[in-house]
Amino acid sequence: MIHLSHWDLVLAALLVLLLAFLSGRLQRQLRNQILVAALRTTVQLLLIGLVLKWLFDLAHPAFIGLISLVMLTVAGREVMVRQGRRLTGWWSFGVGTFSMFLSSFTVTLFALWVIIGNEPWYAPQYAIPLLGMLLGNTMNGISIAMDRLTQSAWQQRQQIEGRLMLGATATEAICDLKREAARSGLIPIINAMAAAGVVSLPGMMTGQILAGADPVEAVKYQIMIMFLISVGTGLGTLASLGLVSRRLFDERHRLRLDRLHVGNGDRRAS
């Protein structure tokens, strides 16, 4: 394996600075977002590298569980703050976090116990990266789907209320919006699976090959990961849409848009 020097990382960072400069000529806020995101990436990855090195040496299930809960909590927050119109109170955070827990943790445990079958099953070099990949992709799908559903419900509130007045139930009135939101949430993982090996080489497989692993064995792991991510994203997206749609109506099947408020996405856009 070829080790990267600090200078190699500086050269890559210069490209990000160039992107920020060019983007800043169009919109200053976009430049700031790129720089902040790059800084967060550097700091967060360096910190997690140190934490994982310590965790791999310790390999205690309690600390692995604690790290997993921290990852889940941060992912739930990211889902919440990216919404253009989100549920009021803690509902947006709760729905996103619960949906990721229901999907990502379940799929990760299944993979560790049944598919990989390593001993012990909570070995951090398997559990943490696998959970991280599932949470990251599930987070994107849930965030996109929830944002699409709440935005569409707000924009098409007159059509929804018209269906309700004609005798439709809450489920019937919003089913088309849920269908489109689910499609939007699943588009990234569907595109990733469809283009894998032809348009792009997925990250895990590429990392293993760069580290000197057998390409065929790396491909096997990547296929497993892609399947697990698709299942986790699908389950999380469907669960979140079901919970959000129920929250948008009361027990009398009335549309309750007072349970939505403008999130950070719409404030920045305005």
- Percent of the chain beyond pLDDT 90? 29
- The answer to whether residues 193 and 226 touch, using CB atoms and an 8 Å cutoff, is yes
- C-alpha to C-alpha distance for 70 and 80, rounded to whole angstroms: 16
Q: In the chain, how long is the greatest CA-to-CA distance? A: 67
Tens of pLDDT, residue by residue, the chain (270 residues) = 567 788 888 898 899 999 888 888 777 888 888 899 899 989 988 888 888 788 777 777 888 888 889 989 998 888 888 788 888 888 888 998 999 998 888 999 898 888 888 788 888 888 888 898 899 889 999 999 999 999 999 999 899 989 999 889 988 999 999 999 999 999 988 988 888 877 777 777 777 777 777 888 888 888 888 899 999 999 999 999 999 999 999 888 888 888 888 765 554 444
Q: Are residues 39 and 159 in the same domain?
A: no
Residue 85's CB is within 10 A of a number of other CB atoms, namely 21
The residues that bridge with 260 in the sheet, in sequence order, are 87
Q: Are residues 163 and 145 in the same domain?
A: yes
Q: What is the DSSP string of 242-268?
A: HHHHHHTB-TT--B-GGGEEE-HHHHH
pLDDT value at residue 237: 93
Q: Are residues 85 and 126 in the same domain?
A: yes
Q: Are residues 137 and 15 in the same domain?
A: no
Which residue range forms the structural domain that includes residue 40? 1-58
Is the dihedral angle over the CA atoms 64, 69, 70, 71 positive or is it negative? positive
Q: Are residues 113 and 230 in the same domain?
A: yes
Q: Are residues 95 and 216 in the same domain?
A: yes
Q: Which two tokens mark 270?
A: 């305005």
- C-alpha to C-alpha distance for 225 and 115, rounded to whole angstroms: 11
Give the model confidence (pLDDT) of 154-174 as tens digits: 999 899 989 999 889 988 999
Q: Are residues 109 and 31 in the same domain?
A: no
Q: Are residues 229 and 202 in the same domain?
A: yes
Q: Are residues 65 and 53 in the same domain?
A: no
From 41, 58, 75, the end of a domain falls on 58
In total, how many domains does the chain have? 2
Q: Are residues 110 and 23 in the same domain?
A: no
pLDDT value at residue 268: 46
Q: Are residues 14 and 88 in the same domain?
A: no
pLDDT value at residue 50: 85
Is the dihedral angle over the CA atoms 160, 164, 167, 173 positive or is it negative? positive
pLDDT value at residue 266: 52
From 35, 58, 81, the end of a domain falls on 58
Examine residue 124 and say whether the peptide bond preceding it is cis (omega within 30 degrees of 0).
Answer: no
Q: Which residues contact 178 (CB under 8 A, 6 or more apart)?
A: 149, 241, 245
From 14, 33, 58, the end of a domain falls on 58
Q: Are residues 140 and 21 in the same domain?
A: no
